[in-house]
Amino acid sequence: MGFKSFVTKKALQMKGMSSEQAEQIAKQLDENPEIAESLKALEGNKEVKELFEKITKEIEEKKKGGLDEQYAAVLVMGKYKSEIMKHREALAPLLGLMQK
């Protein structure tokens, strides 16, 4: 594992991702640099950025209310399903990483 992959893995773990999942994503990003470029493009998309900020905030609120993180994520993502689908082309690289 290169330094960049190591840093990516640790950053993902600090955000609450499991070690195994963080390692898989870091490996995929290392093997497919075009995915990283696609993800960088998401940062410039104001609507997508605001959507994920809302989603993150609501998940955190539900966790503080006592819900398990995965359950909270499922509830919140379900709430915003139509908005996520609206941006599915832009989100395709991110969703692909999350599903592997």
Question: Is residue 61 over pLDDT 90?
Answer: yes
Spatial CB neighbours of 10, under 8 Å, sequence gap ≥ 6: 22
Query: pLDDT-derived band of residue 89, with 50, 70 and 90 as boundaries?
Result: confident
pLDDT of 5 strictly over 80: no
pTM of the model: 0.62
Average pLDDT over residues 76-93: 87
Helix axes 33-43, 88-99, angle to 10 degrees: 130
Q: Tell me the average pLDDT across 25-35.
A: 81
Please provide the average confidence, as pLDDT, over all residues in the chain. Answer: 82
